[in-house]
Structure 1
Amino acid sequence: MKGTLAGAQPAAALPDAEDTLKAEKASFLKQPKAVWATAIAAVFAFMGIGLVDPILPAIAKNLDASPSEVSLLFTSYFLVTAIAMLVTGWVSSRIGGKRTLLIGLGIIVVFASLSGTATSVNELVGFRAGWGLGNALFVATALAVIVGVASGGAGTAIILYEAALGLGISLGPLLGALLGGWQWRAPFFGTGVLMAIAFIALLALLPKTPKPQAKVRLRDPLLALGHKGLRTTAASGLFYNYGFFTILAFTPFILGMDAYGIGGVFFGWGVAVAVFSVFVAPVLQNRFGAVKVLTGTLTLLLLDLVGIGLAAGNSVPAVVVLVIVAGALLGVNNTVYTELAMGVSDSPRPVASAGYNFVRWMGGALAPFLAAQLGEHFGPQVPFFAGAVAMAVAILVAYSGRKYLTAHEPHLV
């Protein structure tokens, strides 16, 4: 069957597809100022994801909290982010993309700053939940805005968005380490300042975005999940994100390093995410197709998580290497999942993105707390083995729904 399909591919399609890929690369850097302002603000917003990584042990020590209690910083953040995704389209379709972005940034400034004043882990968890609300309003709308105003088509816009994600994820731990090595509260205030700068930049550079002709209903993201392709992507993304955030949230507790060491490890991890999401994922996807790339990298991530589990408590250098390798694989998958979510269904992109993110961020909400609980009760290896099982489920879901996903694949070799 493969040979028949490959043979049926017109010879002229290869140069055309390659020309398209080259054109997208050429247009990547030629963007309006509004796109760059939004992308930079997105970098700052995504820094909030990994910001707390280097200071998790310090927070646990200073606030007299257990790893599972501290892990709630991630859980509250992503749980609120996931639920709020259902209302982002409703809000932005009524007040416009620019106002939604600015409201989201303003909320992040307030709650990031309040996080720096927390006197207990419960207060900090609550402030991170508020931060998650602002993150949802900003992140979901930023993707739609970038897709709407970027030159080079949706593919280029998504790569820009994933580049912002990768840079933010890599710079977050670095900022957390640099400021957190001095005082664990400092990264929260630093983020508040950066988001305030982003607020001013967007206020000045982003033109007023028109409201959509049709207003989004609150139930639209859930209805969008009725499409089998989007539902398959979201369900697979949920289990993928469980493994993703097991690595991000639990690894700091097994490294035995200070804030600078943890920040260095996750800076390398984040750089790998950024590089592979921008430069490698598009090439692989155009060469092999979304489903093959997705199942292949998920399989490698499964093996990587098993490796981290075997190395946990035995070899810190092996854990470090495997974490950075995981960053490369995660970078590829982030781009593929996002492109599938934005293009696999017939729903408007903001609506499809909201439905997809509602489901997949639940994986980010569950993983940190469950990983910490498993680690506390059964040993540091078990959370990573559980993450590997989640990857296996993600593979099965994607493979079982492959016929609904292949229509989105680029027509290359």
Structure 2
Amino acid sequence: MTVTEHEVAPSSTTPSTEHHESLLATFRQQPRAVWVTAFAAVIAFMGIGLVDPILNTIREALNAPPSKLTLLFAVYLGVQVVAMLITGWSAYRFGPKRTLTVGLALIVIAAGVSTFAGDIDQLIALRVLWGLGNALFMATALAFIVGSARGGQHGAILLYEAALGVGLAVGPLVGALLGVWTWRGPFAGTALLMLIGAVLCALMLPKDGPRGDRVPVSVIDPIKALRNRTLLVTSIGSAFYTGALFTVIAYAPLAMGLSPIPAGVVFFGWGLLTAVSGVFVAPRLAEWLGQKGGVIAAIGGYGVAMALAGIGVITDQVWLTGLAIVLSGLPSGILNTLFTGVAMSSADPSKPRSVASAGYSFLRWMGGAASAVLVAYLAEWFAPSAPFWFAVGYCAVAVASVSLVRSVKADSHHVDEDAALVGAEEF
């Protein structure tokens, strides 16, 4: 659904009206198998924000230091860094449906066993399994939706981004409501919902075709794609932005020190703005500023939000930090849709797009994992507000990196379809 800076399609209706109508039309005509996959995607995306409202509860219940709490995110992302190199090979070797279903099964096991964890180290180990399952599922779910959805690839992307937004917004609410009872509740609830999704996918998705019908993918192909200097520079920029993003996800709950319900409300607002801006604002901004210009503006806005969050911590104004976190969802949604479009547009057109996107994802998740490890130590070494000021610095590096991309020249058809597909998958 990405709109490139070379693309302004004439229409008798306004862009917002046309976009709204296409979204409704897409929802009406989808087959049952697509809805099953979308439901499972919602639950999988819920896992991203599920832990945020209960971080402080887990800290108290398990007597866990902040450095170990942030590892709940770091190991989750770290596994995805490695998984980006093997998911394409897995889908080729075993088939997309098997890869997707195994990923869901791993999430069910990890979330279910987390319900009975006795200490923080056990939770961290289970998040490793959770991250692997999430990577296997997400790497194939969007490809399946695109291949099975009615209304073209553009409509499939709308449906997938809607699932992403619902998951991001609902996850913190589920974590908060069940976390009031016990910190184990959100894990049990997620395991139950994901089990339903896994059974439905196993029963209703079409069988995998012969391996000979699939395009061979090597484990090292994504690394080779980063030989493209422009793709490498863009990926580095994305890595630093993702570092700033996971300052919010991994550290903000600890910085605010809120109980589950208020924390859930804050992250619900963040997820809601992420969803709305990714689906409705990003295409309009790309039309106005161009794809590259939209990314730079959104990263700048994210840096401002991080500065406000830091000021809130310094002045002990929790409301200001919370407001900054909610507002950061606006540029996050825009970047979710547009950032990978810049990467894919700058990739070598002679290379397969899926390979370039995997190399890009490898560096992006590495930035998030490194940030999630560092945030607690930055607060300990410098000051409680330090992680947010470092996030401002990450945004500055990201802007500088994207600015080095001289031009975004690609066939608008490929940018609109392939880059948008990767953009939704990346989050």
In the superposition, the TM-score normalised over structure 2's length comes to 0.87
Task: Give yes or no for contact 1:79–1:365 (8 Å, CA) kept in 2.
Answer: yes
Alignment-derived partner of residue 410 in structure 2: 407
1:387 paired residue among 386, 391, 398 = 391
Aligned twin of 1:188:
187
> Which stretch has the larger CA shift, 345-354 or 325-334?
345-354
From 366, 369, 392, the counterpart of 1:362: 366
Distance 2:229 2:38 in 1: 31
Measured after TM superposition, the shift of residue 168 of structure 1 is 1.4
Structure 1 residue 254, shift from structure 2 partner: 2.0
Q: Distance in 1 between matches of 2:133 and 2:372?
A: 20
Q: Give the letter for the 2:234 counterpart.
A: T
8 Å Cα contact 2:26/2:151 also seen in 1: yes
Paired-residue identity, %: 42
Query: How many residues align structurally?
Result: 403
1:72 and 1:243, CA in 2 relative to 1: closer, same or farther beyond 3 A? same
Secondary structure at 2:70 match in 1: helix
| 2:26 aligned residue (14, 18, 28) | 28
Cα deviation, 1:232-260, whole Å, max 9, x if unaligned, reads 33222111110111011111112232111
Contact 1:159 1:277 in 2 (8 A): no
Change (3 A) 1:132 1:313: same
Inter-partner Cα distance in structure 2 for 1:77 and 1:154: 30
CA contact (8 A) 2:56 2:258 kept: no
CA drift of 1:68 comes to 1.2
SS of the equivalent of 2:214 reads coil
Q: What are the residue-to-residue correspondences of 1:102-251 with 2, within 5 Å? A: 102-210=101-209, 211=211, 212-251=213-252
Cα distance in 2 between the residues matched to 1:393 and 1:408 = 28
- Displacement, 1:180? 1.0
Per the TM alignment, residue 122 of structure 1 is displaced from its structure 2 partner at its CA by 1.2
Q: Is the 8 A contact 1:220 1:351 kept in 2?
A: yes
> AA paired with 1:245?
F
How far has the Cα of 1:115 moved from its partner?
1.4
How far 1:265 sits from its partner (Å)?
0.7
1:226 counterpart letter in structure 2: R
Q: CA deviation at 1:130?
A: 0.9
TM-score, L = length of structure 1: 0.90
Query: 5 Å matches for 1:250-289?
Result: 250-289=251-290
The 1:44/1:198 distance shift into structure 2, 3 A limit, reads: same
Between the aligned partners of 1:289 and 1:209, the Cα distance in structure 2 is 39
Larger CA deviation: 124-133 vs 251-260: 251-260
Q: Give the distance between the partners of 1:47 and 1:364, measured in 2 at CA.
A: 18
Provide the rounded CA distance (Å) in 2 between the counterparts of 1:408 and 1:232. Answer: 21
TM superposition shift of 1:106: 0.5
Measured after TM superposition, the shift of residue 223 of structure 1 is 1.8
Contact 1:254 1:313 (C-alpha < 8 Å) held by counterparts: no
Give, in angstroms, the shift of residue 268 of structure 1: 0.9
The letter for the 2-side match of 1:178 is: L
* Cα deviation code 1:203-240 (max 9, x no counterpart): 23322243553221111121222334533332221111
Mind listing any 5+ residue stretches in structure 1 that lack a counterpart? 1-5
Deviation of the 1:96 alpha carbon: 1.4
Q: Which amino acid aligns with 1:323?
A: I
Task: Look up the match of 2:336.
Answer: 334
Q: What is the CA–CA distance in structure 1 between the aligned matches of 2:228 and 2:51, rounded to whole Å? A: 36
Q: Which moved more, 1:284-293 or 1:226-235?
A: 226-235
Q: CA-atom RMSD, angstroms?
A: 2.6
- With over 3 angstroms needed to count, the CA separation of the structure-2 counterparts of 1:279 and 1:28, relative to structure 1, is farther
Question: Which SS does the other structure have where 1:86 is aligned?
Answer: coil
How far does residue 167 in structure 1 lie from its aligned partner after superposition?
1.8
The amino acid across from 1:215 in the alignment is P
Deviations 1:140-192 (A, max 9, x none): 11122223333444444334333322221221111111111101111111111
Q: CA deviation at 1:409?
A: 6.3
Given the superposition, is the C-alpha separation of residues 139 and 235 from structure 1 closer, same or farther in structure 2, using an over 3 Å criterion?
same
Superposition map of 1:313-352 within 5 A: 313-314=314-315, 315-341=317-343, 344-345=346-347, 346=349, 347-352=351-356
- The one-letter code sitting in structure 2 at the alignment partner of 1:232 is V
Kept in 2, the 8 Å contact 1:236–1:395? The answer is yes
Q: Report the counterpart of residue 312 of structure 2 in structure 1.
A: 311
1:366 is matched by which residue type in structure 2? A
C-alpha contact (below 8 Å) 2:23/2:159 kept by paired residues: no
Task: Using the TM superposition, name which of 202-211 and 248-257 deviates more.
Answer: 202-211
Identify the residue that residue 295 of structure 1 maps to in structure 2.
Answer: 296
- Structure 1 residues 202 and 341, CA, compared in 2 at 3 Å: closer, same or farther? farther
Using the alignment, how far apart are the partners of 2:124 and 2:138 within structure 1?
Answer: 20
Following TM superposition, by how much is the alpha carbon of 1:14 offset from its aligned partner in structure 2, in angstroms? 3.5
The alpha carbon displacement at 1:24 in A equals 5.0
